[in-house]
Amino acid sequence: MSDNYSSNGAFRPGRGMGMGRFGTGEKVKPASVAGMFGRIYEHARREWPAIAAAIGCVIAISLLEFIVPQLTKYTIDRLIPERRLGELIYIGGGVLGAAVALGALNYVSSSLMASIGQKVLYKFRNDLYRHMQSLDVSFFDRNRTGDLMSRVTNDVSILQQMISSSMMQLFTDFFTFGAIALYMLWIDWRLTLLLLATFPFMILTTRLFGRRMRSSFRKVQESVADVSDHLHNSLTGIRLIKSFTAEDYESERFSERARRNMDANIRVVRLRAAYEPIIDLLNFLGLAIVLVFGAWLAINGEMTIGTIVAFLSYLRLLQNPIRHVSRIINTIQQSAAAHERIMEVMNTKADIVEKDNADTLPPVRGHIVFRDVEFGYSREAEVLSRFNLELEAGQVTALVGSSGSGKTTIAHLIPRFYDPQAGEIEIDGYSLKDVTIASLREQIGIVSQEIVLFNGTIGENIRYGNTNATEEEVAAAARAANAAAFIEAFPGGYDTQIGERGVRLSGGQKQRISIARALLKNPRIVILDEATASLDTESEQHIQEALALLLKGRTCLVIAHRLSTIRQADRIYVLEQGRIAESGSHDELLQRRGRYSQLYEMQFPQPGPAI
């Protein structure tokens, strides 16, 4: 089994695992802020015309921001002393015009950035979803559904908000800061350098808080994922909760998670609350410097009053970036944490991959062989050890045995939901590892007790088995699955919508739709996992008829607790703790009076002698 243990000893169910921090405890290198911007750039670069237009707006905004204080300076230094009343109208018009232009430019640049943000969000979300779809069943075993959901929804949205609002602010601030700092240096480099001396302290404070904020944001996002996971579980299991009158218990569990979210948010708010006054203090220091040093220069006749007033306006503009930086850094840290969570999924590689030169599995007869298969979901829990099994083509093979003996595991190895750690599984002499996954799974139909029907119409759900099927083919599959009568009784027929998990259908009806879906797929190999375990006798009768048709002429692996359903199997294997305890036909096994006959007698006790 050694090939499935990584160098650091972490167990990897399946070969070549590139698993993230979900599961093995192996840490993925945190995605850095630079990495985040790199990926955003990758996604956004096609939008360059819009980005260029937005940057053009931003430069114009910076210029206008620069010009307005110049008007003030001109008014104070020239118009007032020289009593040039007639020109005041132009100054008023200029300020008003600048304000209108600023508004228009802000509108255009914000809309452009918002749409770029949305497009990047769309690409991130699609990539993430597509990548998740490519991951193995074991990935979904290890990770909570709600947590994954919150990565695709909440975390991606945080990134989008940063792109739409903060990046815009960042660009504006950057240009305004550059233009104003250069102008101020040109007018009076001593005063400007004095002002800039406060900036290293601001940067230092920002760095110090930034690190803490990022880890706090990560906690917030994790707690959101927790809340979302709980919601997902409890809302989908609402009937169970009600049947156990566990509403209060669940509300308490929810409230615990909501409290953790609240605490994490409060920590963030406290950090922010401590950070902002420090930055404000440094801002006031800048103000004091301009006032005192500027006044001193004015008294000495080295600076005009208009310049001091313009400097004070510029100071606000110069400090704006720093003041915004706190908010932007917050958003960037929050986004970096969100990006980290997204990248954990993106960096997780599928373990079950095809060989580069994998063949297409031709239509098979369905002769399946397990040879010396070793498999465990974890290092400690080995499920199959040197396991051998042969399923004859076109025959029904049944697996029975106590709970946890490995029946479902065996079934899941055939479509390669998991890969064995050692040994071989072959279909018609082809090793599963040598053929493409699609060509393998196309030939396997699975009907299990846990029926999943998607939101949509009944027709769409059946057509899932073959998206190219015609309406007649769908109806024929439904007829064969004994489902046509009840489907056609609905006013909408095949176009009847079924809600999440098909709430409007009974268990037996759902089962028959799932059989129709499998029939439409027309697979060579059929796996039935506990297919009739929870049905009443009448439904079971209908379903048995449908199943008989599904099994006919195909290689079938049937897993059933209810031995009545597998009497007709060509061969039955009795499993005990991952090993075959005995095998034979129903009659042979009964005669042997071993484990099978014990199980059978437990289910069908012979009537004792009448007293």
Ligand X SMILES: Nc1ncnc2c1ncn2[C@@H]1O[C@H](COP(=O)(O)OP(=O)(O)OP(=O)(O)O)[C@@H](O)[C@H]1O
Residue ranges in contact with ligand X by CB under 6 A: 141, 377, 383, 401, 403-409
Compare residues 107 and 140 and give the one whose CB is closer to ligand X: 140
Q: Is the separation of the CB atoms in 114 and 164 below 8 Å?
A: yes
Q: Least distance in Å: CB of 363 to ligand X?
A: 29
How many angstroms from the chain centroid is the CA of residue 141?
14
Q: Least distance in Å: CB of 401 to ligand X?
A: 6
Q: Least distance in Å: CB of 463 to ligand X?
A: 29
Compare residues 159 and 400 and give the one whose CB is closer to ligand X: 400
Q: Is the separation of the CB atoms in 62 and 175 below 8 Å?
A: yes
Q: Which amino acid is at 416?
A: R
Q: Least distance in Å: CB of 337 to ligand X?
A: 29
Helix H or strand E encompassing 288: helix 247-299
Q: Is the separation of the CB atoms in 446 and 529 below 8 Å?
A: yes
Compare residues 176 and 409 and give the one whose CB is closer to ligand X: 409
Compare residues 115 and 577 and give the one whose CB is closer to ligand X: 577
Compare residues 143 and 511 and give the one whose CB is closer to ligand X: 143
- What residues are paired with 446 via a beta bridge? 527
Compare residues 365 and 579 and give the one whose CB is closer to ligand X: 579
DSSP 30-44: PPPHHHHHHHHHHHH
Report how far residue 452's alpha carbon sits from residue 236's, in angstroms, rounded to the nearest whole number: 13
Which single residue is written with the structure tokens 């093979």? 397
Compare residues 294 and 415 and give the one whose CB is closer to ligand X: 415
DSSP 568-598: T-SEEEEEETTEEEEEE-HHHHHHHTSHHHH
Q: Is the separation of the CB atoms in 309 and 72 below 8 Å?
A: yes
Q: Least distance in Å: CB of 533 to ligand X?
A: 9
Q: Least distance in Å: CB of 521 to ligand X?
A: 23
Q: Least distance in Å: CB of 583 to ligand X?
A: 16
- What residues are paired with 18 via a beta bridge? 349
Report how far residue 374's alpha carbon sits from residue 413's, in angstroms, rounded to the nearest whole number: 11
Residue 173, classified by CB atoms within 10 Å of its CB into exposed (0-12), middle (13-18) or buried (19+), is buried
Sequence-separated (6 or more) residues with CB below 8 Å from residue 203 = none
Maximum distance among all alpha carbons in the chain?
A: 129
Compare residues 79 and 383 and give the one whose CB is closer to ligand X: 383
Angle (nearest 5°) at CA 187 between 185 and 193 = 35
Q: Least distance in Å: CB of 23 to ligand X?
A: 10
Q: Least distance in Å: CB of 566 to ligand X?
A: 13
Compare residues 407 and 586 and give the one whose CB is closer to ligand X: 407
Q: Is the separation of the CB atoms in 219 and 340 below 8 Å?
A: no
Q: Least distance in Å: CB of 527 to ligand X?
A: 12
Strands 396-401 and 430-431: unpaired
Q: For the chain, what's the residue count?
A: 611
Tokens read off for 224: 């959101």
**Nearest to 65, CA basis, from 99, 111, 96:** 99
Sequence-separated (6 or more) residues with CB below 8 Å from residue 54 = 108, 109, 112, 113, 116, 168, 171
**Nearest to 435, CA basis, from 370, 359, 363:** 359
Q: Least distance in Å: CB of 6 to ligand X?
A: 18
Q: Least distance in Å: CB of 404 to ligand X?
A: 4
